[in-house]
């Protein structure tokens, strides 16, 4: 296998940066990694297109798409789900379409525990819509603000309902609004064409709606729904769905190559494949010794990701 060319390595890095939403870093890397030549007058000439091939520049469309993805992700991570929905409906109107979701083939949903995020890898619009609405309901139940990025322990807020009674008109109105939202969630779940999916979401909603029963749900048995991890899971799912809608890969090429490398390495170790003479492995100083006559040839060692990355 031939070594990667500088152009291919640049392409991998740029693909990873744009996929991960680091658009400014991608633009800076694109500029700094371009090869500069000196013309006859002694002036510096940038020759990025010849050196970077398909990543000679980042189009306005690519930059705009990354900014939109980042904006939607940030709104979800901050708990502003309705704001994220408004952006999605404006820019990707079919992403949260229940009708579009029901027209698609039923997808296999992963089994979940009591509070595990349901259908985390699905890009079906029906599943996305339900998960987004569930998270919006969770945010409405919250009594302790969850800041993003998180504050330190001293700055954390106390429950907003502290000092209020259940007879307080404001609390009554809030509970009424939450009950109406819960009814809408059940109605959405009942629209799912698959009985299996319907049952799983009904089980999920039973746990989520249970947040209403607690004055401070952050201390309840179902408090995990209020964690930042649930926001993270939804943000990742929505981002994957946007990438699919744009016809882009949901996994960066660098990650795919790393997965492939790990799989091949594990097979070589499991099969005790003899190493070729002079094979360079991690750490970089290790070189396969020449086996003496009658000795078994050394085999591929187990993969160590830290050593591999340091080599």
Residue 173 within any structural domain of the chain: yes
Evaluate whether 203 touches 133 at the Cβ level (below 8 Å). no
**What pLDDT does 47 receive?**
53
Q: Are residues 235 and 149 in the same domain?
A: yes
- pLDDT bin (cut points 50, 70, 90) of residue 297 is low
Q: Are residues 36 and 94 in the same domain?
A: no
Q: For the chain, how many structural domains are there in total?
A: 3
Based on its alpha-carbon atoms, the radius of gyration of the chain, rounded to whole angstroms, reads: 26
Q: Are residues 34 and 175 in the same domain?
A: no
**What pLDDT does 79 receive?**
97
**What pLDDT does 163 receive?**
42
**What pLDDT does 285 receive?**
47
pLDDT reading at 27 higher than 60: yes
Q: Are residues 148 and 241 in the same domain?
A: yes
Q: Are residues 239 and 99 in the same domain?
A: yes
Residue 15 within any structural domain of the chain: yes
In the block, tokens 């306005």 appear at 60
> In the chain, what percentage of residues exceed pLDDT 90?
51
Evaluate whether 291 touches 297 at the Cβ level (below 8 Å). yes
Q: Are residues 96 and 231 in the same domain?
A: yes
Q: Are residues 145 and 175 in the same domain?
A: yes
Q: Average per-residue pLDDT in the chain? A: 82
**What pLDDT does 278 receive?**
66
> In the chain, what percentage of residues exceed pLDDT 70?
75
Higher pLDDT: 56 or 21? It is 21
Residue 252 within any structural domain of the chain: no
Distance CA 142, CA 214 (A): 10
114 token code pair: 């009591």
108 token code pair: 């296999």
Q: Domain range spanning residue 16?
A: 6-58
Q: Are residues 94 and 241 in the same domain?
A: yes
**Domain end marker among 195, 215, 245:** 245
Q: Which of 108-112, 172-176, 234-238 has the highest mean pLDDT?
A: 234-238
Rounded average pLDDT over 128-143? 96
Q: Which residues contact 295 (CB under 8 A, 6 or more apart)?
A: none
Cβ neighbourhood burial of 191 (10 Å; 0-12, 13-18, 19+): middle
- pLDDT bin (cut points 50, 70, 90) of residue 181 is very high
Residue 209 within any structural domain of the chain: yes
Q: Are residues 87 and 146 in the same domain?
A: yes
Q: Are residues 149 and 276 in the same domain?
A: no
Distance CA 195, CA 231 (A): 27
**What pLDDT does 306 receive?**
76
Residue 138 within any structural domain of the chain: yes
Residue 158 within any structural domain of the chain: no
Q: Are residues 281 and 200 in the same domain?
A: no
User: CA-based diameter of the chain, in Å?
Assistant: 89
């Amino acid at each position: 296998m031939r070594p990667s060319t500088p152009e291919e390595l640049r392409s991998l890095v740029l693909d990873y940066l744009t996929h991960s939403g680091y658009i400014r870093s991608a633009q800076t890397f694109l500029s700094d990694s371009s090869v500069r030549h000196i013309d006859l007058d002694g002036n510096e000439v940038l020759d990025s297109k010849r050196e970077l091939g398909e990543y000679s520049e980042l189009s306005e469309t690519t930059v705009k798409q990354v900014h939109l993805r980042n904006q939607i992700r940030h709104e979800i991570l901050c708990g502003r789900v309705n704001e994220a929905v408004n952006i999605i409906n404006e820019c990707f109107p079919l992403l949260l379409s229940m009708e579009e979701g029901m027209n698609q083939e039923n997808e296999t949903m992963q089994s979940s525990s009591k509070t595990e995020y349901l259908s985390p890898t699905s890009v079906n619009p029906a599943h996305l819509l339900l998960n987004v609405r569930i998270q919006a309901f969770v945010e409405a139940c919250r009594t302790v603000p969850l800041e993003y990025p998180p504050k330190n322990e001293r700055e954390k807020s106390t429950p907003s309902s502290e000092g209020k009674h259940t007879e307080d008109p404001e609390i009554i109105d809030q509970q009424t609004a939450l009950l109406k939202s819960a009814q809408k969630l059940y109605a959405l779940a009942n629209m799912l064409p698959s009985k299996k999916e319907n049952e799983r979401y009904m089980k999920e909603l039973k746990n989520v709606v249970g947040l209403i029963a607690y004055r401070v749900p952050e201390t309840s048995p179902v408090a995990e729904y209020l964690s930042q991890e649930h926001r993270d899971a939804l943000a990742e799912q929505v981002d994957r769905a946007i990438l699919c809608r744009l016809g882009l890969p949901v996994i960066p090429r660098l990650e795919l190559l790393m997965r492939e490398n790990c799989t091949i390495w594990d097979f070589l170790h499991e099969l005790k494949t003899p190493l070729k003479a002079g094979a360079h492995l991690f750490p970089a100083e290790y070189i396969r010794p020449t086996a003496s006559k009658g000795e078994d040839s050394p085999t591929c060692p187990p993969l160590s990701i830290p050593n591999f990355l340091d080599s």
